[in-house]
Structure formats: C-alpha cells, structure tokens
Structure 1
Amino acid sequence: MPSNSIAFARHYTSVIDEVYQRASVSGVLNSGRRMVRAGHNAKEILIPKISVTGLGNYTRNVGYKTGAITYEFETKTFNYDRGIRLFADVMDVEEAGVNDCFVEAGAELQRTQVAPEADAFTFAQIASHTGVTVTPEDLSEATATDILQALREVTSAMDEKQVTLGSRYLFITPTLKGVLDDFSYANPTMSNRVLERFARVIEVPQVRFYTAIDLKSGDTEFGYAKAAAGKAINFMVVEKSAVIKFDKHVASRVFSPDELESLDSYMMKYRKYGIVELFDNKLDGVYVSAATE
C-alpha cells in the first residue's frame, strides 16, 4: 500500500498546494434519467431498437400496402467498475493538524483521478466501439484551413445522413483549438462558420484523448495510461443521443479509526460502477480523427 505523505504542519493554512487538473469534460454526454432508471437493477440493460417500413401507394380499390414493424433489443453490459480505499494514520492526521484532510482528499481524488480517468475511458470506449471508424490524420503541422476543411467534411457527411444538429458536440485538443482561434483572430473576414454546426466545442487535454487506454489494476500501478495500440485523438464529433453513459452506483464514505479493527487509521472508500456504450443504430453520429502514429 502506498505510504501517506501528510507533512507535519507548523503553521497550517487552509490554502491547499494542489496539482493542476481540469474537471471532467465528457459530462455533456451523460444520459438522461430515463436511461438511468432502465439500468437500475441489472448487470445488463436491454435497449429497444425499432424500425418500420416506408410508405407505399394507396389505391381506392385495394387500400393500404402492408409493411412491417421490427422491434428487437440490444443487450448492453456495464463496463466500468473502479474503486480505491485510502488510509491516513490517526497520529499523522492529528500531528499535521489537518483534521478535515478527507474533505480535501475527496475533492482531490475527484479532480485529479476520477474525472480524468472517466473522460479517458469515455473517449476510448467511443473510439474503439465496433462499427466506429477511426480516421488516421496527421494534423501535427496542420493549418487552420486544413482543420476547418476536415470539420466541414465531417459535418457535411453527418448532415447528409440526417444526424441531429442540435446536440452534436465537437471534442478537440487545446492545441488544435488554439490554431483555429488564432486563425479567426488574424483573419476576421475568413469563414469559420463550420464551428456553428456544433452545439458546443469542448477542449480535451491530450492525456485524456486516446483511442484505447489501459486501466491499471492497482496491484503495482494506479489510474490509466494510453494502451500500446492506442492513438492520440485529434478531434471527435459525437451526437449525444448516440451515447449510453451513466453511473449506476457511486459510493464514497469515510470510516473513523473506531470502525477499523486492524488499523488505527481513518479510511476513505470510493467506488464507481457504470457504463459507456453506443446505440448500434446511431453510429453515423460519431466521427473520430486520430494521429497516424
């Protein structure tokens, strides 16, 4: 178990020295309450999929042509089950004078570990889903016009496939977004209206933006890392209704030393159990551009 690093305080201040980290950026894709209720009681959820035939000619002597309704179910399995327990010796806490350390530690866990991993898992699951094509594009030296052209091709293809416009999100690295921003500032008369084809443009740090990741077991390493076969994602376009994303169970609790039999320590437990999946009928609403190497 990793050792704690609670420094003994001489003059304690409530200002925390914390590492830089962004909050979650994939939360806009969270599914609504209806989906959460559907997955309340089972390890798997059944998603109804419906299709109907088109129209035919109506004739006065025969009437209606006969079509059909196809109603079937997709089975989706919860695919994210992660957790951790953290200990702090009661004397370390007392001597450091940080009696509320688990309030701060809980916030730090969410901000620096839970949120980044949840984002990375979300994007990797979407990119690696069967039926989603990852387009290799070397945009390392791309100009703004190159990026805008790529985005226009994506939006035009989605428009032609009748993908919903109002909930279409563009996730893009800060580096590429910066190229677009600088271009717009320097060339105010040049069109960048393709960005209006998205409900929102969201920057994703590259360290959370891979086509595949490895979730570390916690035996020797914690957290996540880019998988050997993973590629850095340039940008991803996602129509929200194509995604199944929610947490079925989140548990967080702090235990006092009196509640632990073998240790004179405080303990914090955290667990998150959920799913990130795609609807098989809505894959046209997903596009992934990734690096070639």
Structure 2
Amino acid sequence: MAITVQTKAKFQELLDKKLLAGLTSAPMEANASQVQYDGGKEFKIPNLDVDGLGDYTRNAGYKSGEYEFSWQTKTFDKDRGRSFPIDVMDMDETGFVLTAGALAERFITEQVVPEIDAYRYSKIFALINAVQQTYAYVPDKSTIFTKFKDHLIEAGNETGGAPMIAFINNLVLGTLEASSEFTRMVTETEVQTGDRKTKIRSIDGVQLVGVPSSRMKSLYTFATGDGNDGGFSAHANAMSINWIICPVSAPLAIVKHASPKVIEPENNPFGDGYIYGYRVYHTLEIADNKKGLFRVSYEPIDAPDLDPTVAKGGSAGKTKWTATAGTGNKLGYFLNATERVVKFNEL
C-alpha cells in the first residue's frame, strides 16, 4: 500500500495535534518567534535594556537616553529520536495508516510528550537556580496559599503587570485546592479551541497549569537508547518542583525540527515492512534579563552522603581530608558550633 504525500501530511497533522494537546508546556512555544536562527546548532535570543525617564525642559527638550541591545548566542541541546520497524505481516487489514497511527499515538502520548515537558521544566529550574530565584518549601495545607500568593505578588511586582502563568505540580495543586482560601480566590473560564473545550483556572488573573508530578523534577537522566528502552527518569538527586511562576513571554521553548518519518517496504533495505521514525530537535532558554522575573518553588531533600577520605598530609602533623561532591554537584560547607541538618541545594 503506497503512502501518498496527502496521507503523510494528514498523519503529521494528527501527531502535531496530539503533541500540543498533551504538552502542559505548550504555551512556551508561542515565544519562539523571538529567536533568530543563523543555521547549524546555534540560535540567538534578544536581550534589551533601556534607560528610564528623565526631566523634560522646554529649552533643552529631551534628556538623551541609552539602550543596550545584544544577541545572546545559545545552542540546541536536545536531539532525540526513535524508529520502529513494522513487518507487513503484522499490518491490519485497514492499512498502514491506522496501524502506524495507533503506534504513533501511543509513542507520542506516553513517551514524547512527558519527556519534552520534563526537559523544559528541569531546564527552567537549572537556569533559575543559577540566579538564586528558587525557594525551598514543603507543601502544607495551612500555609500553601500564603506561600503561593507571596510568589505571585513578588513576580507580579517585578513584571509590572505583564501577563503571567503558573505551572504547578498536580500533587501540590491538590494541596493548594484543599486550602480554605483557594475556593474563594480561584476563577474558572471555559475556552473552546476547535472542537476542544478547556477549563482554565486562574488566581488574580494568573493562569494555573497543572503538570503531572513525574514531569516536575529538578533533574533528569535522558537515556541514550543504546541497548536500553530509552526515555528519561528522575535523577537520584532530583527534587520535586512545586511551581514555576513567570511572565507568559519569558520561557522560550524552541523546536527546530519535529517530524514523523515513514519508509515504505520497497524502500526499506533492512526488512519486509514499514519503518516509522520520529525525531525532535529542541531546547529551552531564558534571556538573562528575564531570569529575575521567575519564582520557582521546590521541595527540599536531605543532602546526599559523601564518601570522605583521610590521608597523611604533606608535612609532619598534618592530615589531608577530601570529599567528592559527585558529577554535576558543587561542594560547600558550614562552620557551625552545633550540629545541623543540611539540605540539598541549600546555600
């Protein structure tokens, strides 16, 4: 059965709809128009700072101001893909499209969508953690609304009224919903996009986007797919992200290439069957002057145990003590007269 160009186009359109419908981070993709491509792995994002107002005088007129504009060069860092051979003897009588559609729908829904979301939220955490705008908090029904509202106010104060959005761990959202203040403050609006109706909840005009808890971790391991099932998993030192509050326009989710590929049996050099492949080449970035507008809350974990070593020092009477922080970690220390419990990521 030949796969026509029209059929392939409809097939890709179906997958694109599935992808966008499942991605909780989909609103971030609208910001990709800010990006300038120069070819290759690199792209540029704009960074603009301007002076404030000065006094206007009728003799001299305007005070001269200055602006600083720069392009920040970034690199795509996620190139992921997978292929599936489908033997012709396994094809259903309804034809390849339905069989490929079932496989592709399962793959997009259960593998691609969760991984893209997880990558984006963990990348935001890494970028915002580097500028110390992440805050440890253990969700509790009695305090969560106040804590969440404080972050809304802080972020809103920084943005000056720009539209904001809040991505919230679904488990944390459940705790927030259980607070007595939530039902009094939340508003709900029904929005129809095509044939889909979606209920949007907001607090103080800030849209609340619930995210599966498995996609809201601070750090993930992305498997290579060599000799394994591929996919992603939470890192041993991963912390649960409670929420990410930011201007709608701040996170730049950029997909340079995302497309299914179909190879027909007559063009398949490896076997008598079709090959369905999918590749997504993407990244997420935040302009430097936007990072201070984020508020990220996470649930802390105890610092991992270290394996210290003690050895003889270089001179008499001295002892050499060493400890390794582990790949991707930085080692710090407190000088305290009393014992204390140190949390991972604590400054």
Tell me if TM exceeds 0.5: yes
Q: 1:183 and 1:66, CA in 2 relative to 1: closer, same or farther beyond 3 A?
A: closer
SS in 2 for 1:104: helix
- Aligned-pair identity in percent equals 26
2:248 matched residue in structure 1: 240
After superposition, give the CA deviation of every residue in 1:5-63 in whole Å (9 maximum; x if it has no partner): xxxxxxxxxxxxxxxxx922111221346336x33744212223222222333445655
Q: CA separation in 2, counterparts of 1:44 and 1:181?
A: 42
After superposition, give the CA deviation of every residue in 1:113-146 in whole Å (9 maximum; x if it has no partner): 111001001100101013253211112xx11x41
Note the residue ranges of structure 1 that are not aligned, 5 or more in a row.
1-21
- Out of 42, 46, 49, the position equivalent to 2:47 is 49
SS in 2 for 1:150: helix
SS in 2 for 1:228: coil
2:89 matched residue in structure 1: 91
- Out of 91, 99, 102, the position equivalent to 1:101 is 99
Counterpart of 1:197 in structure 2: which amino acid? Answer: D
1:264 matched residue in structure 2: 272
SS in 2 for 1:241: coil
Q: CA separation in 2, counterparts of 1:199 and 1:192?
A: 10
- Out of 31, 37, 40, the position equivalent to 1:39 is 37
Q: After superposition, where does 1:76-87 map in structure 2 within 5 Å?
A: 76-87=74-85
TM-score (norm 2): 0.68
- Out of 258, 270, 282, the position equivalent to 2:290 is 282
Q: 1:191 and 1:272, CA in 2 relative to 1: closer, same or farther beyond 3 A?
A: closer
SS in 1 for 2:30: coil
SS in 2 for 1:46: strand
1:173 matched residue in structure 2: 169
Note the residue ranges of structure 2 that are not aligned, 5 or more in a row.
1-20, 188-200, 302-347
Kept after mapping to 1: 8 A contact 2:258/2:281: yes
2:156 matched residue in structure 1: 159
Counterpart of 1:146 in structure 2: which amino acid? Answer: T
1:135 matched residue in structure 2: 135
Shift of 1:238: 2.4
- Out of 216, 234, 257, the position equivalent to 1:209 is 216
User: How many residues are aligned here?
Assistant: 264
SS in 1 for 2:239: coil
After superposition, give the CA deviation of every residue in 1:62-95 in whole Å (9 maximum; x if it has no partner): 554443222222112112211001112222336x
Shift of 1:228: 2.4
Shift of 1:195: 5.0
Counterpart of 1:147 in structure 2: which amino acid? Answer: I
Counterpart of 2:265 in structure 1: which amino acid? Answer: P
After superposition, give the CA deviation of every residue in 1:248-285 in whole Å (9 maximum; x if it has no partner): 11121221221111212221111011221111111133
SS in 1 for 2:276: strand
